[in-house]
C-alpha cells in the first residue's frame, strides 16, 4: 500500500517534470491519495488531528505545546488585529461582509475573472488599495495580526477549498509541482521533508506533515517571537533548501497555498497557532 502510493507520488514528479500539459491530475483523487498515504504511514493518527502539525508525532512535544496554548502568546496580536479591523471597519465590511467570522473560510479561492488564486492576505490588500489605503506588508506585522483576527473568528469551521474550473485545476497543478519538484542546491523538495519524512527529526526539528499545513496560519513562532504568515514560512523553507525564495504573495506561493489548502480540505481551521 505504502509502496504503491510512494511510487505514485514519485511518478508524479517525473511526469510533471517532463510534460506538465499531457498529465492531467484529478485534484480530488490526488487529495484522497495524500490522505490515504498519511493513513498508511501512521494508522493510529486520526484524520482530524492533522490540524496540529508535527505535534501529532510526539506525546512529549505535544504536551509542551498544549501547555503553551493554554496561555497563548498570540492573543495580544489577535486583539491588535481586531483594532486594525475596527480602524477601517467600513472598508473591510464592503469587501468581506459584516461578519468577520465569515471571511477566513472563503480563502484561498480561484477567481475566474482574473484567473488568479486569491488568498486572504492578497484580498486584504486588494481591498485596502481599492479604498485608497496603503497596502500592508505580507510576512508579519499588521497583516499577520489582521489575518490572525480573521482566523481566530473562524475557528472550528472546516477548510473547504473548491476546484471547479480548468483554471483552478491548473493553479492546483502548478502548486503541486512546486511542492513535489526538487529545487535548490541540496536537491530537496517540500515532499521529501513533509511527505516522505514527516515525523522524523531534522536535527531537533520534528518534521510536520503537509496535510494540515495551512489550517493554523498565521503562526506565532518561538523562534520569531511574533506572528508570521504562511508565505513567510514558505520563504524560510526555500532558504533552508538553498533555493531562491519567491516573494510573499507571488503567483508561485499563492498557487502553492492553493494546493496545500485544497489538500487540507475537511480539516478544522485552528489559526492562529503556536509553533516552536
β-pair type (201-202, 205-206): antiparallel
Which range in 72-80, 98-106, 154-162, 187-195 contacts ligand HEC by CB under 6 A? 187-195
Q: Does 42 bind ligand HEC (CB under 6 A)?
A: no
Torsion of CA 69, 74, 75, 80, to 10 degrees: -170
Q: Which of 140, 118, 128, 130 is nearest to 85 (CA)?
A: 128
Q: Which helix (H) or strand (E) holds 116?
A: strand 116-118
Q: How far is CA 31 from the centre of its chain?
A: 15
Cβ(46)–Cβ(246) under 8 Å? no
What three-state secondary structure class fits 206? Answer: strand
What are the backbone angles phi and psi of residue 90, rounded to the nearest 5°? -60, -40
CA distance 264 to 249: 19
CA distance 152 to 127: 20
Q: How far is the CB of 218 from other proteins (least distance, A)?
A: 26
**Partner from ligand HEC, other proteins, none contacting 169, C-beta within 5 to 8 A by type:** none
Please report, as residue ranges, which positions from 204 to 233 form the binding site for other proteins (by CB under 8 A).
204-205, 207
Q: How far is the CB of 138 from ligand HEC (least distance, A)?
A: 15
**Partner from other proteins, ligand HEC, none contacting 10, C-beta within 5 to 8 A by type:** other proteins
Q: Which helix (H) or strand (E) holds 201?
A: strand 201-202
Q: How far is the CB of 68 from other proteins (least distance, A)?
A: 21
Of 47 and 201, which CB lies nearer to other proteins in the complex structure? 201
Of 58 and 265, which CB lies nearer to other proteins in the complex structure? 58
Q: Does 190 bind ligand HEC (CB under 6 A)?
A: yes
What are the backbone angles phi and psi of residue 240, rounded to the nearest 5°? -65, -25
237 is catalytic: yes
**Partner from other proteins, ligand HEC, none contacting 53, C-beta within 5 to 8 A by type:** ligand HEC
CA distance 183 to 241: 7
Binding mask 214-253 for ligand HEC (x = CB under 6 A): -----x-------------xx--xx-xx------------
Q: Does 194 bind ligand HEC (CB under 6 A)?
A: yes
Please report, as residue ranges, which positions from 135 to 194 form the binding site for other proteins (by CB under 8 A).
185-188, 191-193
Helix 251-263 / helix 230-240 crossing angle, nearest 10 deg:
100
Which residue bears the cell 464592503? 94
Please report, as residue ranges, which positions from 10 to 39 form the binding site for other proteins (by CB under 8 A).
10
Site for other proteins, rule CB under 8 A: 6-7, 10, 185-188, 191-193, 196-197, 200-205, 207
Residues carrying an active site annotation: 237
Binding positions for ligand HEC, rule: CB under 6 A: 53-54, 179, 188, 190, 192-194, 202, 205, 207-208, 213, 219, 233-234, 237-238, 240-241, 256, 275
Amino acid at each position: 500500500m505504502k509502496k504503491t502510493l510512494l511510487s505514485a507520488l514519485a511518478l508524479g514528479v517525473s511526469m510533471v517534470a517532463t510534460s506538465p500539459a499531457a498529465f492531467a491530475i484529478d485534484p480530488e483523487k490526488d487529495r484522497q491519495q495524500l490522505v490515504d498515504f498519511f493513513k498508511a504511514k501512521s494508522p493510529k493518527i486520526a484524520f482530524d488531528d492533522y490540524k496540529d502539525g508535527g505535534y501529532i508525532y510526539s506525546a512529549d512535544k505535544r504536551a509542551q505545546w498544549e501547555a503553551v496554548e493554554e496561555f497563548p502568546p498570540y492573543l495580544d496580536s489577535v486583539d491588535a488585529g481586531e483594532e486594525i479591523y475596527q480602524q477601517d471597519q467600513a472598508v473591510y465590511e464592503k469587501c468581506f461582509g459584516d461578519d468577520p467570522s465569515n471571511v477566513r473560510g472563503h480563502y484561498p479561492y480561484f477567481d475566474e475573472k482574473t484567473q488568479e488564486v486569491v488568498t486572504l492576505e492578497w484580498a486584504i490588500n486588494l481591498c485596502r488599495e481599492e479604498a485608497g489605503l496603503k497596502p500592508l506588508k505580507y510576512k508579519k506585522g499588521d497583516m499577520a495580526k489582521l489575518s490572525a483576527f480573521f482566523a481566530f473568528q473562524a475557528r472550528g469551521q472546516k477548510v473547504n477549498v473548491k476546484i471547479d474550473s480548468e483554471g483552478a485545476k491548473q493553479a492546483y497543478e502548478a502548486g503541486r509541482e512546486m511542492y513535489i519538484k526538487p529545487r535548490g542546491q541540496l536537491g530537496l523538495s517540500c515532499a521529501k521533508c513533509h511527505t516522505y519524512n514527516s515525523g522524523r527529526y531534522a536535527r531537533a526539528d520534528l518534521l510536520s506533515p503537509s496535510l494540515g499545513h495551512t489550517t493554523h496560519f498565521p503562526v506565532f513562532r518561538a523562534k520569531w517571537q511574533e506572528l508570521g504568515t504562511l508565505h513567510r514560512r514558505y520563504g524560510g523553507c526555500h532558504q533552508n533548501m538553498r533555493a531562491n525564495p519567491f516573494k510573499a504573495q507571488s503567483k508561485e506561493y499563492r498557487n502553492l497555498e492553493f494546493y496545500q489548502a485544497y489538500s487540507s480540505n475537511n480539516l478544522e481551521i485552528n489559526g492562529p497557532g503556536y509553533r516552536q
